[in-house]
Amino acid sequence: MTHYYSMKQITEITGVTKRTLHHYDEIGLLTPSQRQDNGYRQYSQDNLIRLQKIIFLKGLGISLNEVNKMIDLDEETLRRSLQTYQTQMKEKINNLQRLNDNLLSFLDGTPLLKLDIYELPLQQQYATEASYRYGHTAVYQSLADKRRGNEASYSEEEVAQMDSIFEAFNQLAERNAPYEDSKHIVERWKRMLNQYADFSDDLLCCIADTYDEDPRFQDYFKQFSHPKITQVIADHVHFHLDKCSE
């Protein structure tokens, strides 16, 4: 003899809410085997087993639309179908891990510039941004010609060299050194940038101002200990390169 469960009993057995059971009935995913004269739903043992299968698939994060396609598959066919889904799940897990790694790095103080979270690398975004702002200038054309084929990023060696220059500026700021002590650092920074294009002194002063004014660069410079390093860089670069300050 077939045993039937009331909706209340089904909710107590499975933890699924009455509202969810109503919804499954409305979309044809789980139709009760019987309805009493008063309209109360009666669920058979097969209904209960089907519901537990739905709960399993939903628990995997599968949409109701896909559950509806899978629910009537036998277990062997379902296993084959879920093998593909498992591959997709691994990709999602790996992506979530990457996102979590980036979040932890940011929380630990890593600047946005160094995070691997963008659809396009931030350095590449800056390059595109620069092409809109300075693409008409001879300096930009020179830079583009020298770096063509490698626009997206800088080499580890180049990054290390620039970091060491900024650390020298940081030490300068820490000891509140006079402008006379920074001439060799400014010249070193100038030589570094002129590897990529023939920047005028005026444009180099604008770059230094960008370090101090653009919040994206301010975030990058937080890795150095002095809180006003960007202001110090801008001041010392202007002192040595800005002809109007002479």
Question: Could you say which architecture CATH assigns to the domain 154-245?
Answer: Orthogonal Bundle (1.10)
Lowest mean pLDDT segment, chosen from 66-75, 81-90, 117-126, 174-183: 117-126
Task: Flag whether pLDDT at 143 surpasses 70.
Answer: no
Cα-flanking dihedrals φ and ψ of residue 17, to 5°? -80, 160
Query: Which residues in 149-175 are b (16+ Cβ under 10 Å) and which e?
Result: eebeeeeeeeeebeeebbebbbbbbee
pLDDT at site 151: 44
Q: Where are the domains of the chain?
A: 4-70, 75-108, 154-245
Q: How confident is the model at residue 120 (pLDDT cuts 50, 70, 90)?
A: low
Q: How much of the chain exceeds pLDDT 90, in percent? A: 47
Helices 201-213, 183-193: inter-axial angle, 10-degree rounding: 100
Q: Is the pTM of this model over 0.85?
A: no
Between 165 and 144, the higher pLDDT residue: 165
pLDDT (tens digit, 9 = 90+) per residue, 26-57?
Answer: 999 999 998 877 778 899 999 999 999 999 99
Confidence label for 149 from pLDDT (cuts 50, 70 and 90)? very low
- Is 180 exposed, middle or buried, given 0-12, 13-18 or 19+ CB atoms closer than 10 A? exposed
In whole angstroms, what is the distance from residue 19 CA to residue 35 CA? 17
Q: Is residue 238's pLDDT more than 80?
A: yes
Residue 137 pLDDT > 90, yes or no? Answer: no
Is the pLDDT confidence value at 225 over 70?
A: yes
pLDDT at 153: 53
Per-residue pLDDT tens for 58-86?
A: 999 899 999 999 999 998 999 998 998 89
Is it the case that residue 152 has pLDDT exceeding 50? no
N residues, the chain:
246
Q: Tell me the angle at which helices 45-59 and 7-14 cross, rounded to the nearest 10 degrees.
A: 40
More confident residue, 230 or 244: 230
Q: How far apart are CA 37 and CA 54, in angstroms?
A: 28
pLDDT computed for residue 90 by the predictor: 92
Given a cut of 90, is residue 21 above it in pLDDT? yes
4-70: CATH number: 1.10.1660.10
